[in-house]
């Protein structure tokens, strides 16, 4: 058993007891509060800059928009959460010429092969961030973490009312500090890299494509 913990803390405490200097902190810079339309427009513009495809639709028409997108591509399946509102809505009106709906119903140990070979997935989002152009995802038992990571195409459904002005605002309004989930994510586009000569290319280890359906009701 190592004494590292005790040694490190003893060293730090020996100094901390001599150090009583209090520091004053400048106030945090003010954040811009945006109206609903501005938030949607800004998020859309910024995410499109990062090569996401953003479609503004509403809760009556989003499935039609989704189907149209899927028909333009030849995909081997669409990974979804069968028990969520998205999953049940899709299952009710799915058509045979569309890629089959595949549920993420088993633990990764039993379904890894499928997760790494399926072409597309669809998930909900917890919200969006207008100031930087990003989605907030809190994956859970229904919509596990790999859903927004392993398939080459990730489709995310975002309710316009859940777009916050900034991350700080989202954390404050939703009291994140009182209970963080296993994993919380911000996603601003498809995966990318600039590691070779700073040439920006999209589609590295995560999804190559990200489509955001904004439900503006």
- Three-class secondary structure of residue 163 per DSSP: strand
Contacting residue, 48, 69, 82, 145, with other proteins by CB under 8 A = 145
- The minimum distance between CB 207 and other proteins, in angstroms, equals 7
Q: Per CB under 8 A, does 171 bind other proteins?
A: yes
- Three-class secondary structure of residue 153 per DSSP: strand
Q: How many residues bind other proteins (CB under 8 A)?
A: 75
Strand partners, 84: none
Q: Residues 90-129 vs other proteins: string with x where CB under 8 A?
A: --------------x-xxxx-xx---x------------x
- The minimum distance between CB 156 and other proteins, in angstroms, equals 13
Q: Per CB under 8 A, does 13 bind other proteins?
A: yes
Order of all β-strands in the sheet with 78-80:
53-57, 209-215, 153-159, 120-124, 78-80, 101-103
- Three-class secondary structure of residue 135 per DSSP: strand
Task: Say if CB 53 and CB 208 are below 8 A apart.
Answer: no
Q: Are β-strands 201-202 and 134-137 bridged in parallel, bridged antiparallel, or unpaired?
A: unpaired
Window contacting other proteins (CB under 8 A); options: 55-63, 66-74, 85-93, 146-154: 146-154
Q: Residues 38-67 vs other proteins: string with x where CB under 8 A?
A: --------x---x-----------------
- The minimum distance between CB 61 and other proteins, in angstroms, equals 28
Task: Say if CB 131 and CB 32 are below 8 A apart.
Answer: yes
């Amino acid at each position: 058993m190592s004494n590292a913990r005790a040694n490190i803390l003893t060293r730090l405490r020996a100094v901390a007891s001599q150090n009583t200097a209090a520091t004053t902190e400048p106030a945090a810079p003010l954040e811009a509060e945006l109206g609903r339309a501005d938030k949607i427009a800004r998020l859309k513009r910024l995410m499109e800059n990062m090569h996401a495809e953003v479609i503004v639709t509403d809760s009556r028409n989003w499935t039609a928009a989704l189907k149209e997108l899927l028909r333009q591509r030849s995909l081997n399946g669409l990974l979804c959460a069968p028990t969520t509102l998205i999953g049940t809505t899709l299952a009710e009106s799915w058509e045979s010429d569309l890629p089959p709906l595949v549920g993420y119903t088993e633990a990764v140990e039993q379904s890894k092969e499928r997760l790494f070979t399926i072409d597309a997935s669809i998930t909900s989002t917890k919200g969006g961030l207008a100031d930087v152009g990003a989605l907030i995802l809190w994956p859970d038992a229904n919509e596990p973490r790999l859903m927004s990571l392993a398939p080459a195409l990730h489709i995310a459904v975002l309710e316009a009312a859940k777009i916050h002005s900034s991350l700080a605002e989202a954390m404050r309004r939703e009291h994140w500090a009182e209970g963080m989930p296993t994993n919380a994510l911000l996603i601003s586009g498809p995966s990318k890299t600039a590691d070779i000569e700073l040439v920006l290319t999209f589609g590295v280890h995560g999804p190559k494509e990200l489509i955001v359906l904004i439900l503006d009701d």
